[in-house]
Amino acid sequence: MAGKDKKRRGAAIPPPSSAASAKTVGLLVHGWLVFLHPLLLGQLEKLATAAEKEPALTPGPSRKLLGHLRDLMFDKIPHSPDAPAFRHGGALRGGRREWFRAKTGNGRYRLFYRFDSRARIIVYAWVNDDEHLRTIGARNDAYAEFGRMLDAGNPPSSWDELLAVTRAEAAKDPKRHPTFVRLVTPSKSKPK
């Protein structure tokens, strides 16, 4: 029986549950309360729209990227958000060591987030798009673009402000968070 409990490679990840408290609208994932910043939600909605235009039988790049992001956000990162693999190593200039990032899409995409280990909260802030792929030294590099966004104050650099903005957005439109989960949940087709 123990073999059945092991996670198979490529097996569907169970969708995260919604938080029980009406005060904190978020997703509970592996003991962490997860919030999606409005910037990230906007990027994910664009990606989901592109994925819906791809053929259903053969997953295209948008659908694959959504699957990778879902795996990162609702499985890998919540298991160990402070893992060394998620540290940016100074690529995000300005002494912003409080920000972490996860790589996906052959190393061209970056998912930026912050977390509070005492409160067990993760806030996913932004993922780059095709116009801001990781290209070292380029003006439109993912790190350069995210740095400019931080400099402009969106997302906020302060943890309290970041959490307040994200919670306010989640409370304003609580269905927007689970909608993303539904969009990227793998179809339940039988394996061949």
The reply to whether the predicted model has a pTM over 0.95 is no
Lookup: tokens for 174: 């609580």
* Percent of the chain residues topping a pLDDT of 90: 38
Domains of the chain, CATH where assigned: 26-184 (3.30.2310.20)
Quick one: pLDDT at residue 105?
A: 84
Contacts of 63 (CB under 8 A, 6+ apart): 51, 54
* Collapsed DSSP state (helix, strand, coil) of residue 33: strand
Q: pLDDT grade, residue 160 (50/70/90)?
A: very high
Please write the tens of the pLDDT for every residue from 56-87: 788 888 899 999 999 999 999 999 999 999 99
